[in-house]
Amino acid sequence: MRQADHTEARQWLAKHGLAGAEPTLLLAARLAVRRRAKLVDSLLLAAFLIGAALTHAFGGIAEGTSSRLPLLVLAALVVGLLVAQWLVGWWVRRVDRRAGAQLSRRVAHPVELGWPAVLGRPYAVFTVATFTAALLLAVSVLPVSDSGLRRGAIVVLIGLAGAGAGVIMQLRQVLASPAVAEDEVSLTTDVIMRVEDARALVTPSLVWTLPAIFLYGESLGWWNAVSLALVVAGAIALSLIQIRTAGVGTTARRAMATR
Amino acid sequence: MIVIDAASPTPPYEQLRAQLARQIQDRSLAVGTRLPTIRRLAADLGLAVNTVGRAYRELEEAGLIETRGRAGSFVSAAGDQALEQARRAARDYAAVIASIGIDPAEAIRIVEAALGHASTP
């Protein structure tokens, strides 16, 4: 194992209350692929936002010539983002599966871990509320007479639909992927990774960004204030949830406790 | 926790069956607990679906779990009855041992030998 991977695994174990456990090749491999996947995910999101913003800008310039083209381009961007995110998830699962196939001893929990145990209701409610608020904002902007703003609202609606589908799809992957463990410690780390992955998925960076980028028109309006208010309120709510709910390690151990 | 050791001479389905049975009988798995689906557990343990299916089938035949259609497999209340049945049999055995004057250590060795024989497929 490379020294950097060993150090990363040791720090990860200590952070999650497993300081006494020895870093293994299995853990190092799983952490490494997740680190790379997180980086690729961030780059994908950035590329999507840049592409969507460019589409929006050029759509505004070309207004009156071909008003459907920007929407088609945006739809293609959403599909591209979803497919790319699915491929990143598939890559992580493939690395996990290969690591698991090399184990001579396999360990699993006898009780299926559902989303309430892994994600937790506060995070689920927060996610639904964030998506709903952004959707309602975009829908309520549609009747506004500013055509640029209307196009922006459609962009937001398409983006939210795509992001929602992406979250559901990836959450299913996180919950359904097989356990990769050879002993009690690695089974605990497996569940901790699930909780971490699930919580990272529902952090609504895209949901906050879309209205703030696209809901602007020829003049500032109430929708701009609401967009910002949603980000501020969402950030406060997420911070409160993170403070008030149990940490990742505790949640994982609770999920593993047999009822 | 369920452990499947590929190097063990005991077949994987028997390792799985025995561990689930023990956890149900010592109540680590409470009555009504939903077990993972056969497909899910097979993926988790790196086993064939048929292997897990066989273990579940034998647990069902022993009355330790029950399958409720598409809802899945659950720890059966019969698990408690099975435990009580085992306790009753142990009491009867202890009475027989006492009546014929066999040493308790020897009696335990007989039981262990019988259990070892019973778990052999």
Domains detected in chain B: 12-75 (1.10.10.10), 79-118 (no CATH)
Per DSSP, chain B holds a count of helices (H) and strands (E) of 5, 3
Can you say whether the dihedral through the CA atoms of B11, B16, B19, B22 is positive or negative? negative
Mean pLDDT of B31-44: 91
Instruction: Give the Cβ contact number of residue B78 at 10 Å.
Output: 17
Predicted pLDDT at B43: 92
The shortest CB-CB distance from A259 to any of B3, B33, B35 is to B33
Cβ of B35 under 8 Å from any chain A Cβ? yes
Cβ neighbours of B47 in A, within 8 Å: 106
Q: Kindly state whether B49 is in contact with chain A, defined as any CB-CB distance less than 8 angstroms.
A: no
pLDDT higher than 60, residue B119: no
Mark B34-71 as b/e (b = at least 16 C-beta within 10 Å).
bbbbbebbbbbbbbeeebbbbbbbbbeeeebbebeeee
Share of chain B above pLDDT 90, in %: 54
Tell me how long chain A is.
Answer: 259
Taking CB atoms and an 8 Å limit, are A112 and B35 in contact across chains? yes
Orientation of helix A147-176 relative to helix A68-101, angle to 10°: 10
List own/partner pairs for B53-57 with CB under 8 A and 24 or more apart: B54/B13, B54/B17, B55/B13, B55/B14, B55/B16, B55/B17, B55/B20
Inspect the interface and report whether the beta carbons of A178 and B44 lie closer than 8 Å.
yes
Query: Which chain A positions have a beta carbon within 8 Å of B20's beta carbon?
Result: 110
Mean pLDDT of B71-99: 83
The CA R_g of chain A, rounded to the nearest whole Å, is 21
| A198 Cβ neighbours under 8 A, 6+ residues apart | A115, A118, A119, A123, A171, A174, A175
Distance CA A89, CA A149 (A): 34
Report d(CA A211, CA A231) in Å as an integer: 9
| CA A75 to the chain's CA centroid | 19
Using the predicted structure, report yes or no on whether residue B118 has a pLDDT greater than 80.
no
Structural domain containing residue A22: 3-258
pLDDT in tens, A105-155: 999 999 888 888 899 999 999 999 999 999 999 999 988 888 778 888 888
Which residue from A minimizes the CA distance to B20? A110
pLDDT of residue A259 exceeding 50: no
- Flag if A108 and B2 touch (Cβ within 8 Å): yes
pLDDT of residue A256: 83
In Å, how far is A107's CA from the nearest CA of chain B?
Answer: 5
pLDDT-based confidence at residue A217 (cuts at 50, 70, 90): low
By C-alpha distance, which of A171, A179, A166 is closest to A199? A171
Question: Which residues are within 8 A (CB) of A144 and not within 5 positions of it... i.e. 6 or more apart?
Answer: A150, A153, A217, A221, A223
Q: pLDDT for A54-109, tens place per residue?
A: 887 776 655 555 567 777 887 888 888 888 988 998 899 899 989 888 888 999 99
E strands, A102-166, in order: 105-108
Task: Tell if the CB–CB gap between A110 and B40 is shorter than 8 Å.
Answer: no
A111 and B36 within 8 Å at the Cβ level: the answer is yes
User: Per-residue pLDDT for A37 more than 90?
Assistant: yes
Residue B6 near chain A (CB below 8 Å) = yes
Residues in chain B, overall count: 121
Q: Could you tell me which residues of chain A have a Cβ less than 8 Å from any Cβ in chain B?
A: 100-101, 103-112, 176, 178-179, 184, 187, 258-259
Is the Cβ pair A112, B36 closer than 8 Å?
Answer: yes
d(CA A258, CA B34): 11
Q: Using an 8 Å Cβ cutoff, are A225 and A168 in contact?
A: no
Among B20, B30, B45, select the one facing A259 at the smallest CB separation: B30
- Decide if A215 contacts A142 (C-beta within 8 A): no
Question: Is residue B104 exposed (0-12), middle (13-18) or buried (19+ Cβ within 10 Å)?
Answer: exposed
Decide if pLDDT at A258 tops 60: no
Q: What is the least distance, in Å, from the CA of B101 to any CA of chain A?
A: 42
**What's the pLDDT score for residue A66?**
55
- Nearest one of A161, A141, A179 to A78, comparing CA atoms: A161
Q: What is the pLDDT of residue A82?
A: 82
User: How far is B35 from B59, CA to CA, in rounded Å?
Assistant: 12
Lowest mean pLDDT among A53-57, A93-97, A227-231, A246-250: A53-57
Check residue A195 and give its pLDDT.
93
Residue of B5, B44, B72 with shortest CB distance to A105? B5
CB distance from B71 to chain A under 8 Å? no
Question: What confidence score (pLDDT) does residue A31 get?
Answer: 93
Please state, in angstroms and rounded to a whole number, the distance separating the CA atoms of residues A51 and A45.
Answer: 10
Dist. CA A39–CA A70, nearest whole Å: 28
Q: Indicate whether A35 pLDDT > 50.
A: yes
pLDDT band at B80 (very low <50, low <70, confident <90, very high): low
Per the structure, the count of domains in chain A is: 1
